[in-house]
Structure 1
């Protein structure tokens, strides 16, 4: 149905004349409807609204039996605020016009008898104004929907390329990213991995595997973000994350991950499920972040020896029986070193590199009883290492045995006891410095 221009007047002659003029000028595009009272007008408007008929203009007389013109236009405004209201009357007082202006957003007042040209121009301008406002509204709505779509798209992209990664590259949007974009910064990188995942996985269906991994990652991911970290990638059952602000953030996140895991394991125990154990390696150094790939497939990544070392440290957690290992570079970068329980575990050399790195265990995330045992035996353990690096293997072996008397499950002490015993039998080269080559992951 065509849009409607509604005319309201209690005088039939006026309505007939008004309808004839409007039909002559606007009848090809609009339906001209007439009613004789405000009450009838509201009934007709209600029908229009039910049928979603568009009503751009209502023209009303002021002095009518029952509902007055200003009252009608106010009621129309409450129902259809976008509809333009015109008062066409010869007897309206200033109060009525003012009421219509204030409460109905009166578009125009035209006195009777009207001048035909003036009426036609007024209606033409009113229609232009109505549809222009409608067009602007539709454009704004379309723009809003487009912005919402872009926001949803950006949010979806952020699940694959974190917005922090874009910020590192000084990009506003994923659309700005180009192959070869890169930046170099000092950051702290964390690797975490589930120990013995293969054994766990073999006992689960494919569906259970994914449920388990996602449940675990769903516990750990928010902790990384809470401590200002960015998850660079998920590595099956593992996480690689980078921390731009402080090395302490990475260590705090790792400790919180271990505490959360302890609670997670308590829930698993209630369902007779085996505990989940993880190893975490952290290193601080210069990282290169950038976009690699080819034009058809690009990926954000982090490249650096510092990354490789963090991954190797995570691998060393299995060897030392530790949950969290950090490099000397990370230890030196900590602002609150005194806040952590730590012990020196030895020196390692990454395969293919000449640099020797000292490794430290942070054990704030261990069970309280384990923390107490490590604190108690720390002097003996570190004295044992001093003798070990001095090639005094007999003295070292005695000290590591004493550590194990108090803390039988200390895997690091047992490892050094076994090595000390081995080197007592097999002499070491003169150039030996106790550095272990990390040829394993």
Structure 2
């Protein structure tokens, strides 16, 4: 069921309720003649007309002559000369004699709210709302309506004792409702049902707009209109038939009056903020803030003082309300003239709302009874607001469709651009810098972290480069590098730089990833060499150096030219270690301190190779050679002679060159391709002849 259908059904219900009570035949001089009236038609009637009135009297004797007649409904303040009650403060008794048909019937009398307490008596039945008294101290105010049934024929006298000392207004603002019991009870039930239905429907309107705001929190108007609906829904039980008493029969009268007055102020300011949300900056925000401050003052003011004080200013509030309504109407009309989106339909809804309430107030003051026109106007206005929301949602959806198409086009370009940039600056590098895309990178961005750095290079690269034509050099280099890159990436690393045939790769997952990547590179190179041999080309040998430590990743350069880089001693030492691979004839060299961090060190064949001091460093570094089983005969023999080689290393460090020389010669005899063993043989023979000093530490200094 659509919102429009709900609105139409609600309007039909309200219209039906309006027809359930009709004015009675004219009451003249406190007498109503219903002897020939078709009272069995089923409609309840409002007892409107001139009632007998006894000011300042309770317990009026039967047949007493009234000093005056007062119109009902009417307030004492509206007819002060006839009521004889000053400023609406006082008490008195209303009397109405009704001539009934001669047949016994069950009748009901229902009296809505009075100002401010009453006792209703008819025949042998009596009931009270609050407690009417002759002084303020003896009066207990209440806004609860009351009803009862009574069996009568021929004649029925209705007495209403009313007292008011707690409100600016006194008297009967609503006409009693009389008729057959079933008709009156149906009327009461219909009024209560309408109040509950309105409360529930408007509450759902508010909840719907809060949900809109939750999903689209930039729509401030949805929040304020949702708040407006909730306040309006909460106000309904406190006005009209006062259904709040059905839930809380002992609710204080002061609270009922406060909610009735305060809610009007709150609704007014919420409506202003709602309009400001729909049409931003069209109403001066300072004016809304001033009015908000005034409303807050009035809310606190109403809590501090009693109703009999602040109700004295009701006329002032009404004048301010009229000024407020006229001002807002003018601004809305100006919006419509300027052609703001949805301003025309909104202005129409506002006019309907304004007319409905003005007409309702007019009926109340003219004594013509209650009207539900204002409630119909509210529902029509809510329908207008729903239409605006629908229109705006449709426009927003259309814009989103266009934006989606545009976004998809831009996103495709963005993805292609990012893919292109990722080939120059690795995605992992951006991640370590805490950046989502290359567009966020700025000069000076940096991140300090512990990483493993790996350098890999071909020993024969320059010899090959100078031996092939110029146009083939780039093809040869890319053919080799194209095999190394995947080995790095599949082991959770990324290549930071290409330096000719050399690469610098970074690993953030521990030394084991870099070791595995180095082994994969060596195996991939072996496959590449098999292919090269089929074409008669020389095989390639790559040396790989690895070291772990603190690094600084960052963006260097200047505003027009940026480059990602890594600056640290870790990078320098890793490069120097790679440079030693060719001298020792080693495929993979790694600093021993880094190798010890391997999680599965027992599964890695390695041998301690040397204590070295590389160029530019005063500290010594113990390096180890990682061996790859079955990659070639030389590596297998190195693994077989590992223990004998390392024993000779420690003899060498203790300057026991005789024992060390014997060990290295044994290793060399078993593996003549072991360059490290050959180097140590030459060193031992030299130091046996030249000798060493007391400061001997066994460290080898490599200047290249």
| TM-score normalised to structure 2 length | 0.43
Q: 2:668 aligns with which of 398, 404, 412?
A: 404
The answer to whether the aligner puts 1:155 opposite 2:419 as a matched pair is: yes
Query: What residue number does 2:503 align with?
Result: 239
2:488 maps to what in 1? 224
- Residue of structure 1 equivalent to 2:449: 185
Cα distance in 2, alignment partners of residues 265 and 298 from structure 1 = 37
Q: Give per-residue Cα distances to partners, 1:97-136, cap 9 Å, x unaligned.
A: xxxxxxxxxxxxxxxxxxxxxxxxxxxxxxxx99998775
Match of 2:560 in 1: 296
Of 170-179 and 226-235, deviating more is: 170-179
In structure 1, runs of 5+ residues without a counterpart are: 1-128
How many residue pairs are counted as aligned between the two chains?
A: 313
Task: Work out the CA distance in 1 between the residues paired with 2:604 and 2:582.
Answer: 21
* Partner residue in 2 for 1:34: none
Give, in whole Å, the separation in 1 of the partners of 2:461 and 2:632: 25
SS in 2 for 1:190: strand
Question: Retained in 1: the 8 A contact 2:627–2:639?
Answer: no
Per chain length, whose mean CA-contact separation is higher, i.e. which structure has more relative contact order (CA < 8 Å, sep 6+)? 1
Determine the structure 1 residue equivalent to 2:693.
Answer: 429
Measure how far apart 1:179 and its partner are: 1.2
Q: Would the alpha carbon gap of residues 161 and 385 (structure 1) be closer, same or farther in structure 2, given more than 3 Å must change?
A: same
Write out per-residue CA displacement over residues 17-44 of structure 1, whole angstroms, 9 at most, x where no aligned residue.
Answer: xxxxxxxxxxxxxxxxxxxxxxxxxxxx
Distance 1:170 1:383 in 2: 48
Q: Deviations over 1:321-364 (max 9, x none)?
A: 10100002221211111111100001112333232110000011
| Contact 1:348–1:435 (Cα < 8 Å) also in 2 | yes
Q: Are 2:600 and 1:317 equivalent residues in the alignment?
A: no
In the alignment, the residues of structure 2 paired with residue 288 and residue 419 of structure 1 have an alpha-carbon distance, to the nearest angstrom, of 38
Q: Aligned Cα RMSD in Å?
A: 1.9
> After superposition, where does 1:37-436 map in structure 2 within 5 Å?
137-364=401-628, 367-436=631-700
Deviations, residues 218-255 of structure 1 (Å, cap 9, x unaligned): 11101100000011111110110000011100000000
Distance 1:266 1:389 in 2: 40
Distance in structure 2 (CA, Å) of the matches to 1:205 and 1:371? 34
C-alpha contact (below 8 Å) 1:312/1:438 kept by paired residues? no
In 2, Cα distance between equivalents of 1:331 and 1:130: 65
Q: Give me the whole-angstrom Cα distance separating, in 2, the residues matched to 1:368 and 1:311.
A: 25
CA deviations over 1:155-209 (Å, ceiling 9, x no partner): 1111011111011010111111111111111110000001021110111112211
Rounded Cα–Cα distance in structure 2 between residues aligned with 1:293 and 1:215: 30
Q: Tell me the distance in 2 between the aligned counterparts of 1:367 and 1:272.
A: 21
CA distance in 1 between partners of 2:460 and 2:547 (Å): 23
Aligned-pair distance for 1:289? 0.6
SS in 1 for 2:695: coil
Query: Does the aligned pair in 2 maintain the 1:347–1:359 contact within 8 Å?
Result: yes
Go from structure 1 to structure 2 and tell me whether the alpha carbon gap of 1:407 and 1:388 turns closer, same or farther (over 3 Å shift).
same
**Alpha carbons 2:664, 2:681 under 8 Å: kept:** yes
SS of the residue corresponding to residue 589 of structure 2 reads: strand
Task: Provide the secondary structure at the position in 1 that maps to 2:580.
Answer: helix
SS in 2 for 1:333: coil
For the residues of structure 2 that align with 1:368 and 1:285, how far apart are their CA atoms? Answer: 31
List gaps (5 residues or longer) in structure 2: 1-392
Q: Does the CA contact (< 8 Å) of 2:455 and 2:503 recur in 1? A: yes
Distance 1:156 1:385 in 2: 50
How far apart, in 1, do the equivalents of 2:610 and 2:629 lie?
Answer: 20
The DSSP-based 3-state class of the residue aligned with 1:402 is: helix
Answer yes or no: is the 8 Å Cα contact 1:340–1:362 preserved in 2. Answer: yes
